Amino acid sequence: SAVISQKPSRDICQRGTSLTIQCQVDSQVTMMFWYRQQPGQSLTLIATANQGSEATYESGFVIDKFPISRPNLTFSTLTVSNMSPEDSSIYLCSVRYGGALTGELFFGEGSRLTVL
Amino acid sequence: EDQVTQSPEALRLQEGESSSLNCSYTVSGLRGLFWYRQDPGKGPEFLFTLYSAGEEKEKERLKATLTKKESFLHITAPKPEDSATYLCAVQAEGVRGSTLGRLYFGRGTQLTVWP
């Protein structure tokens, strides 16, 4: 299994500010995924981050709101921009070994954001 | 429209009382069904992947099974440490506009096992 470290683990933010979440993986992976888990809701994919190319965003998520960086094969960041209370959620980084269509998906511990 | 539905939403069991959690899915072209365990304040922990109807996998007190429409997570003689939220997810070919490798998650079943 993968060791996936996320920082920060939790934060309390003011409305209108931005916060960057970091994700570090202990081995090289091609695809990294960012999910959001809102209270009482299922995990929802925000975007897929591939090294060397622009991130691919799911419907309802845009780059201006959730810019993503993927500078190398073991690291990615997700920024939550211009935050509002509706952005209060757990943000999870995940990786998949064995290719995009096979293998297990492993998650980091998550970053719990509270926006006041 | 939800691709994955889990039931019940919450389940309380006495220690040793076996039961099952259900995960039904509506996608076509299933490429894999995944079970995760999530403890409060933690990320989901991978448990099983099932790929075809009839497949079964076991791990300690947990056993996952798969049919063409649903999966069950059977918990035999549960202990309080089995208390967690159990998540089900599917990967499918038949979801329009699906991102390659994307998993669709259910909302989970919150299991509480009391001594």
pLDDT digits (tens, 9 = 90+) for B55-99: 999 999 999 999 989 999 999 999 999 999 999 999 876 555 556
Looking at residue B91, its pLDDT comes to 86
Query: Residue A48 burial by CB count (10 A; 0-12/13-18/19+): exposed, middle or buried?
Result: buried
Residue B97: how many other CB atoms lie within 10 Å: 7
| Residue ranges of chain A whose CB lies within 8 Å of a chain B CB | 1, 4, 6, 31, 33, 40-45, 48, 56, 58-59, 92, 96, 99-102, 104-110, 112
Q: Which residue has the higher pLDDT, A104 or A1?
A: A104
Residues of B in contact with A99 (CB under 8 A): 101
Task: Give the side-chain half-sphere CA count within 13 A for A9.
Answer: 7
Looking at residue B100, its pLDDT comes to 61
Q: Average pLDDT in the B10-16 region?
A: 97
Q: B66-90 burial string, b = 16+ CB within 10 Å, else e?
A: beeebbbbebeebeeebbbbbbbbb
Q: What pLDDT sits at residue B101?
A: 67
In this complex, the residue of B32, B99, B107 whose CB is nearest that of residue A45 is: B99
pLDDT digits (tens, 9 = 90+) for A1-54: 679 999 999 999 999 999 999 999 999 988 899 999 998 888 999 999 988 788
- pLDDT given at position B11: 98
- CB atoms A45 and B42 under 8 Å: no
Please, which pLDDT band fits residue B108 given cuts at 50, 70 and 90? very high
